[in-house]
Structure 1
């Protein structure tokens, strides 16, 4: 397998990993992910199947083929989700050569140049943050272990964390989903001991203290 092909396969695997969540949670309105298919190798694309929850009948499922390449880069899993949310809502007219069938399902070939991706939601950001904390990519034990979470407001997420460098007991960190997630994840363990941002005796019996990182 060439390096270029390996890059495509790795990206397809990442897309499948993200969209697994939408087997049980709708991706858009009442539509769920019913399949993620690697398109034939010559296309450098991914195919995603949408339908009602628990649907299996091919004639009631819709497949969308989305090219993975965009210039010299590859579309991210979030790019694919955003495009799917747009193409599966409203009315979209496809040229005849972009409509076909595969395995009994209607197949639409998406031209991203004609589609405005749906915006990334706070829940999308929150899911990304929670997945990174719950399943870190490194084999080393995480410096801050995720013990729980609570949505407090559309732009406020409470993380319940246990960290060796923090005082004893569970620390709750209030964060705003979105923005520089990579920077937040890297800095989070050291921020849990910021006394000027810490409140004790908060009205939350699930933690020993609350660290307000919403302005970080």
Structure 2
């Protein structure tokens, strides 16, 4: 159980790195991710203005990582944080304290309607998996570039050991990403999905995976 929480904290820290530079919500950025003390199955995320170091201007949100028998995913934590940081929320006195000079608010995920993951969130997940593949996936497919075509279409520029040249794969952010990423090497060679985009000089052909 302890290791399960530790692994979740690792994954959450990795996901939230992006929000040091890109806002988590409105103009608020992640200024820290803290593993809660061992007795608390939670993560603490520090939010504030970009570049702010003053503890008095930062807020730490403690988010439990377990609801009943279920673990919150890193994506769940992002949704809970966005909701907790939007609008006015009244916290009972026993859920407000301080840590390291910062206000610490203990969030109850079961009572929060988590904000949905955005298109950009899903796109980042795809791009990060392709740019930093696991050792066993390395070299099967490489990310050479990407372009947001519209809200529902992300173009991935890829190469592969099995297919010559640079292939563009159009995907829809969101959905069954794990399955799509696992199947991607074989999908790049499916001729019936393939066309040529004469307006795009950056690839030899395009594979449409938006309905996959």
Deviation at 1:195, TM superposition (A): 1.4
Structure 2 spans left out of the alignment, 5+ residues: none
Between the aligned partners of 1:82 and 1:195, the Cα distance in structure 2 is 39
- TM-score, structure 1 length as denominator? 0.95
The match for 2:206 is 210
**Could you list the runs of 4 or more consecutive aligned residues of structure 1 that deviate by over 4 angstroms after TM superposition?**
none
Residues 2-151 of structure 1 aligned to structure 2 (within 5 Å): 4-151=1-148
SS, match of residue 124 in structure 1: helix
Q: Is the 8 A contact 1:202 1:210 kept in 2?
A: no
- TM-score, structure 2 length as denominator? 0.96
Q: Is 1:159 matched with 2:156?
A: yes
Between the aligned partners of 2:154 and 2:101, the Cα distance in structure 1 is 42
Q: Is the 8 A contact 2:196 2:206 kept in 1?
A: yes
The 1:201/1:67 distance shift into structure 2, 3 A limit, reads closer
Query: CA RMSD of the aligned region, Å?
Result: 1.1
Residue by residue over 1:51-76, the C-alpha shift from the partner in whole angstroms, topping out at 9 and shown as x without a partner, is 00000000100000010112223211
Structure 1 spans left out of the alignment, 5+ residues: none
Deviation at 1:140, TM superposition (A): 4.7
Between the aligned partners of 2:16 and 2:137, the Cα distance in structure 1 is 26
The match for 1:174 is 170
Residue by residue over 1:7-64, the C-alpha shift from the partner in whole angstroms, topping out at 9 and shown as x without a partner, is 2111111110100110011000000000000111111111000000000000100000
SS, match of residue 45 in structure 2: strand
Deviation at 1:196, TM superposition (A): 1.6
What is the aligned residue count? 212
Once structures 1 and 2 are overlaid, which stretch shifts more, 120-129 or 140-149? 140-149
